[in-house]
Structure 1
């Protein structure tokens, strides 16, 4: 098994419906290719961890790099893992920038992410780095 974490920046003005399209495509592809992970979007910033067989994860990351809806794509970490941190998750997602979310919903999501971070026991350096980046990202005020 293999894990990979990357970050990128959405193009300015990327509509929420386009982010939902990304999620829908990712969920379908990941399910069909036995890839799991978690995708967080906040302040036009994506951070994602992918888990699965090495070849599949690397092929998916190559496809992600070609996606014109984001830029500044940076591989943060990748390594071999014994088990998945996100089993049976095609993709977890919360659009913190969603204008329809109330202030209390955003705060609740941030608190839930912090709890997940605090209680998770990352099984690899890559997943540990993912959670630290998520914790930093969600602590940032909205743009």
Structure 2
């Protein structure tokens, strides 16, 4: 029996004019779906970009990702990494969500510090997908040029 958890990290751009209300709809839909299918993860939104990590059974995650790419509320999807892990990164989150515009400056710094700490403590060999997730969160929050198209 395979006890490994499949993890997939992707990023996408928010559609023009998307607001907090539409983003909260995404989060609520995801939480309801994820709890039924034993999926956990975290969605981060900042500067018009989403970064998400999904964790669960491989076939279920791949099917969910296909469904997500058909959602017109975001586009320009890119899988950043995918692979197996022995443990979930977000065990108790049907869909954790970080909307950076809700944070004041000091709180945003704390999220950046958390991302940096996670980057420093995760080994690439065993946890490549979480490392890619935290790297992209950190980069999005600290270097907006990385995500801006030319």
TM over 0.5: yes
Q: CA deviation at 1:121?
A: 5.5
- Correspondence for 1:14 among 8, 14, 18: 18
For residue 65 of structure 1, report the CA deviation from its aligned partner.
0.6
d(CA) in 1 for partners of 2:69 and 2:143? 25
Shift of 1:120: 4.7
- Please list, as runs of the form range in 1=range in 2, the aligned pairs for 1:91-102 lying within 5 A after superposition: 91-98=95-102, 101-102=103-104
2:141 is aligned to 138
Q: How much does 1:119 deviate? A: 4.0
Q: In the alignment, does 2:69 pair up with 1:65?
A: yes
**Partners of 1:61 and 1:130 in 2: CA distance:** 15
CA distance in structure 1 between the partners assigned to 2:114 and 2:132 by the alignment: 18
Q: CA deviation at 1:96?
A: 0.9
User: What is the Cα-based RMSD across aligned positions, in Å?
Assistant: 2.1
Of stretches 113-122 and 131-140 in structure 1, the one that deviates more from structure 2 is: 113-122
Can you give the 5+ residue segments of structure 2 that lack an aligned partner in the other structure? none
State TM-score, norm by structure 2. Answer: 0.83
Count the aligned residue pairs.
141
**Separation in structure 1 between the aligned mates of residue 88 and residue 141 of structure 2, nearest angstrom:** 23
Aligned to 2:41: 37
* Counterpart residue number, 1:103: 105
